[in-house]
A and B are shown apart, each in its own frame.
Chain A
Amino acid sequence: MTSTSFKHIGQRSIRPDGLDKVTGKARFGADYYLPGMLVGVVVRSPHPHATIKSIDTTAARAISGVKAVITAQDFPEISHEEAMSGESVVDFRDLSHNVMARDKVLYIGHPVAAIAATSQQAADAAAQALQVVYEIHPHVLNVDEAMASDAPILHSDLDPDGGEPTNIAKRHVFNRGDTKQGFARADVVIEREFTTKQVHQGYIEPHAVVADTGEDGRSVVWCSSQGHFLVRDQTAKVLGWERSRLKVIPAEIGGGFGGKTTIYLEPLAVLLSAKSGRPVKMVMSRDEVFMATGPGPGSRVRVKIGATSDGKITAAEVWMAFDAGAFKGSPVGAACQTVLAPYEIHDVSITGLDVVINTPKVAAYRAPGAPIGAFAAESVLDEIAEALSMDPIDLRYQNAVEEGSESTYGPTFKLIGFKETLEAIKEHPHYKATLGPNQGRGVACGFWFNAGLGSSATVSIHEDGTASVLTGSPDIGGSRASMALMAAEVLGIDETRIRPSIVDTDSIGFTDVTGGSRVTFATGMAVIEACGEIVEDLRGRAAMIWGAEPDDVEWQSGQAQHSDGSKPPLSLAEIAGSAAKTGGPIAATASLTARGVGPAFSTQVCDVEVDPDTGLVDILRYTTAQDAGRAIHPSYVEGQMQGGVVQGIGWALNEEYVYDDSGRMENPMFLDYRMPVASDLPMIDTVIVEVPNPGHPYGVRGVGEVGIVPPLAAIANAINGATDVRLRDLPMSPPRVVDALSSELNGATGTPAG
């Protein structure tokens, strides 16, 4: 389906950063070594909920080789102040208290001190020697415990209903129409309850940072993140520094999936470096990553949907409680907005609760909140299709949103490609293939907004006709290749003559995070705009050389051409070679807030085989169709689709935080936190649907996130197809599947939470 009207866009070019990554030269967060560098470690709370009575650093400081020890006392107290941080809201006071606990610790792993020393051994010994006295409080580990009437309260200032403080930080309510009347019009009404556990983003690269503070009080920070401007701004805020005191240099990033859109180690490393006068390197261990960085939320969700006998949805009610971890701010608001978004439903009532519990603060995770909502809604829709003896795709198609539909969360959709993804799956050979015994097929759909936000790009044309494209967007999945292709398309030169780079916070205009599926869309827009300015400049210079008017010059195939054909064309390299005589250096910068975001839809089909004895669910075949708007680099679009699906498979089948009664995570390692490995999976077939986004010069929508939205329900629906049993509690791991298959209780009210 790729358009043939482009010369560069749509090509499967070799990514510009690829060579460094296959030869081991690429430098990630932990790969920086500076002369005189110290090792920094974090001392973490062993209790899930306690008051810090005292911290005595004397013994720790006395250990040979220890150069700096910091605690809460070294951080300014800042007031509650909410600001947009990328696509989510950050409260700087909470952020500050999360990176270093003040009066209370709120989860096992909450930092209480940090130490810099000349060796790992010295730092570890000092951590052991640090004396912290705690007064322990009872704790809560899930939304049910946290909302119980006698629950211990984490924060004294959370009272959304204006009464006594509670653990409910916020109540989101969306009501439209009259659901009572809507359900009265329905021939079938199904209401079910679902639970999901916390899951981790699971990036393979642990958080890592090196900070070097100079005599002038300015600090240079090397770290991997999804946004080095975010790291700069949040670190400055937490330290009470001016932003210009910090320069953040982006390392290559070894995966993020939303989890690296916040800070943990950075302010500690900067402060330790400032105190010691030496560079400080801090790298988390894997168990620290699990126990102290953002999982996605656990949840309890109820969904009720009604439909007429011919398959028209008449009303829907949704109630969701998401845990936020230790500080407010789960993605339940986004879940409320996305849960029914693929469908035209007038009468809706959606309530979402943001609930604090004694676990690490949740962080964004790929389409934050949407997979949990879709798990519930798409499971109920599947039951409705079953009850009506309708094909599940036909049911969805009949209710699917299209251009002009008013979404359940408010805005009216512009041109979108949801129905095209449903058609793509219905027509795919996969959907018609036969199934064997104990095998089943499931379908589900997903929606994600995508984001625009701020981006900057600087393009320079060199005298030899090559070009540099600088941006501030960390590249997690091949976006440099997309930047080069889009620049090549505008400039008309081969993408191998374009060098895309991601540069530090002092070298480019502000750029929001690599998140919200926004980089190819928004940063691409900045690149296109800057390249467009370059082309205008080149046309003017060609006109000057020819003694013509700029309007007489056209830019085609990387050449200036006189409109009447009276002059031999001038190539970009020829114009660049004489730039000194035509006005000097050729460069352009664009900084913009990208408007015209095009939302993403995905439809997926999955075949499973369920072993009735062991409960093992084997993914036999998986096909995903997604509207990319325009695939700039199809291989990396497919990669996003496949990666999203497989994270969803892990979430559906095996991944979960397991806490013991004391609040300690029992599985903070990859052996026991079981992410999918190659032998668990089939190939993931992809169908790239291209319904161009009218808001982007090349029609780009974001592709990064929506792929993770459908798999949880697609797999649950497939398991039902194989076993006639519906699982409503994630993960659908072998013990739960065996329990569900043998349970007579499985019925209309859903399975009880485990």
Chain B
Amino acid sequence: MKTHVTCSVNGDPVEFLVDDSQTLLSALRDELKLTGVKEGCGTGDCGACSVLLNGELTCSCLVFAPEVQNSQVVTVEGLADPDNLHPLQAAFLEGAALQCGICTPGFLVAAKALLDRNPTPNEKEVRYAIAGNLCRCTGYDKIVRSILDVAADLASESETVGE
């Protein structure tokens, strides 16, 4: 017996049928084919499956799919608008903040969650905000710098607006 789930994913209304034991990660990937959401561990330790669930940073492997009934889910596929990359996506490209790229979707979502609640983080705040995301390629240096670059741009923009 499957459960019928209705929710919003990246702003679009969606519905799908899932087993009660199926995770949100599985629903996104296997049912909706949103394969930008990655599975690295299945135990909430690597952050590759990070999504925003009702605005909160969440490991989609730790949520059962039926739990997201009527919720709003944002994945890496929902970060850019049709004409423009999200500033974090552009910064990651510019700053060479990815090597293999498997962890990149999770980092982008985690970084967005950080900047949504704290647009001007310092380096330490960035490092702790992404400490739930594993990257084995970069040593995090260029990821941290790219997020700080976006934060600096946001800060200078808000100063301009303030003036």
Contacts and interface: CB of A to CB of B under 8 A. Distances in A.
Interface stretch (B63-71, B75-83, B154-162): B75-83
B137 A679 contact: no
Interface residues of B, number: 58
Interface in A124-179: none
Given A22-B92, A24-B35, A204-B136, A679 B40 contact: no
Nearest to A14: B93
A255 interface: yes
A477 B99 contact: yes
Contacts of A14: 93-94
Contacts of A12: 96
B94 to A, nearest CB: 7
Interface string A659-683: 0000000000111000111110101
B108 interface: yes
B140 A646 contact: yes
Contact of B42 (A25, A286, A635): A286
Contact of A669 (B34, B45, B93): B45
B73 interface: no
Contacts of B40: 204-206, 254, 286, 670
Contacts of A184: none
Nearest to B35: A31
A252 interface: yes
B75 A24 contact: yes
Interface stretch (A232-240, A340-348, A636-644): A636-644
A26 B42 contact: no
Contacts of B39: 30, 206, 283
B48 A204 contact: yes
Interface in B58-109: 75-77, 79-80, 85, 89, 92-96, 98-105, 108
B113 interface: no
Contacts of A31: 29, 35
B104 A22 contact: yes
Interface in B98-146: 98-105, 108, 124, 126-128, 130-145
Contacts of B19: 121
A15 B141 contact: no
Contact of B141 (A285, A476, A642): A642
Given A202-B136, A206-B40, A252-B101, A678 B93 contact: no
Given A31-B35, A286-B41, A681-B139, A476 B46 contact: no
Contacts of A670: 40-41, 43, 45-46, 134
A105 to B, nearest CB: 25
Contacts of B85: 19, 22-23
A482 to B, nearest CB: 12
Contacts of A28: 35, 38, 102
B37 to A, nearest CB: 7
A15 B100 CA distance: 11
A678 B96 contact: no
Contacts of B80: 23
A122 to B, nearest CB: 12
A19 B139 contact: no
Given A21-B98, A24-B75, A26-B101, A33 B33 contact: yes
Contact of B37 (A24, A25, A33, A646): A24
A677 B103 CA distance: 13
A640 B142 CA distance: 11
A22 B93 contact: yes
Contacts of B135: 204, 678
A684 interface: yes
- Which one of B41, B143, B144 has the greatest number of beta carbons of chain A within 10 Å? B41
B157 to A, nearest CB: 21
Given A669-B41, A678-B144, A679-B128, A23 B77 contact: yes
A18 B101 CA distance: 8
B75 A253 contact: no
A678 B143 contact: yes
B140 A681 contact: yes
Contacts of A679: 124, 127-128, 131
A683 B45 contact: no
Contacts of B34: 24
A15 B130 CA distance: 23
A681 B127 contact: yes
A321 B33 CA distance: 48
Given A24-B76, A671-B45, A683 B144 contact: yes
Given A23-B76, A677-B131, A639 B137 contact: yes
Nearest to A669: B43
Most chain A beta-carbon neighbours within 10 Å: one of B42, B45, B76, B144: B45
Contact of A22 (B38, B98, B138): B98
A241 interface: no
Interface string A625-645: 000000000011011101101
Nearest to B78: A24
A257 interface: yes
B95 to A, nearest CB: 8
A639 B138 contact: yes
11 contacts: A23-B77, A24-B75, A201-B136, A204-B135, A254-B101, A476-B100, A636-B96, A645-B139, A646-B138, A646-B139, A679-B128
Interface of B: 19, 29-30, 33-43, 45-46, 48, 75-77, 79-80, 85, 89, 92-96, 98-105, 108, 124, 126-128, 130-145
Interface of A: 12, 14-15, 17-19, 21-28, 30-31, 33, 121, 201-206, 252-257, 283, 285-286, 476-478, 635-636, 638-640, 642-643, 645-647, 669-671, 675-679, 681, 683-684
